[in-house]
Amino acid sequence: MSPPDTAPPPGTPRSVPCPACGGPSRYAPDNPFRPFCSARCRQHDLGAWASESFRVDARDDDGADQPAANSPPAPRFQQ
């Protein structure tokens, strides 16, 4: 027995939760604020990034991704 198909028919816009408020948001080309539900939620999210409430942490460069000085060179592909 196969699981029921829960995807909406093609061309039917989906409703997704707004990342800012959690309310329903129409995820379709005619929603200029997508994935947000409104201009207010979109601006609120932008403001959080601008004030650095949201940020991507940078890792310290400790040289761990660099090969050791005495390690053999990486193999090269032959053509």
Say which residues have a Cβ less than 8 Å from residue 20's Cβ, sequence separation at least 6.
36, 37, 41, 42, 44, 45
Residue with tokens 């408020």: 21
| CATH placement of domain 14-50 | 3.30.50.10
Residue 2's SS3 state is coil
The reply to whether the predicted model has a pTM over 0.85 is no
User: Hey, where are the domains in the chain?
Assistant: 14-50
Per-residue pLDDT of the chain (79 residues; tens, 9 = 90+): 555 556 666 777 889 999 999 999 999 999 999 999 999 999 999 998 888 887 777 777 665 666 666 766 666 655 4
